[in-house]
């Protein structure tokens, strides 16, 4: 999970150099322009065999430094995020959506991946017992 957030943060820094990126907690008097990266939901379900399906939902909020009127930069940033933001390692962004609500751009998406679960208990073994009756 932390690796995914770090990859997202790194990709945002590549696409938008010089823009401050906050994770989880957004300070009251934060810098603008800035991004706020937060995990909004997490779901784990059992897959086939020893596999585990993990679904994460993210919201990347963009706070513009433009005041008044329609914020063209929110439209531009949303377009770049929809087209350019992607992760390596076979992680695909799903259900991508960018919308501006109350002068803040919200870019939401899901990531789903499958993990091989680790065995926690030892396997049962055959034992041979010699008894005399």
Given this model, what pLDDT does residue 70 score?
A: 65
Please tell me the pTM assigned to this model. 0.78
Could you tell me the residue ranges of all domains in the chain?
A: 2-116
The string of pLDDT tens digits covering residues 40-92 is 998 888 877 778 888 999 999 999 888 776 678 888 999 999 988 887 777 78
CATH class of 2-116: alpha beta
Q: Are 62 and 105 in contact (CB under 8 A)?
A: yes
- Report residue 34 CA to chain centroid gap: 17
Q: Which of 61, 19, 66 is nearest to 40 (CA)?
A: 61
For residues 130 and 97, which has the higher predicted lDDT (pLDDT)?
A: 97
Q: Which of 38, 55, 25 is nearest to 108 (CA)?
A: 38
């Amino acid at each position: 999970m932390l690796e995914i957030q770090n990859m997202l943060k790194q990709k945002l820094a590549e696409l938008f150099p010089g823009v401050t990126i906050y994770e989880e907690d957004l300070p009251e008097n934060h810098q603008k322009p800035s991004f706020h990266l937060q995990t909004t939901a997490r779901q784990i379900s059992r897959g086939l065999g020893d596999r585990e399906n993990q679904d994460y939902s993210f919201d990347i909020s963009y706070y513009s430094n433009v005041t008044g009127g329609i914020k063209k930069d929110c439209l531009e940033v949303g377009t770049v995020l929809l087209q350019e933001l992607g992760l390596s390692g076979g992680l695909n962004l799903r259900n991508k959506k960018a919308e501006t609500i109350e002068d803040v751009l919200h870019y939401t998406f899901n990531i789903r991946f499958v993990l091989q679960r680790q065995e926690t208990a030892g396997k049962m073994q055959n034992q041979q017992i010699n008894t005399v009756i």
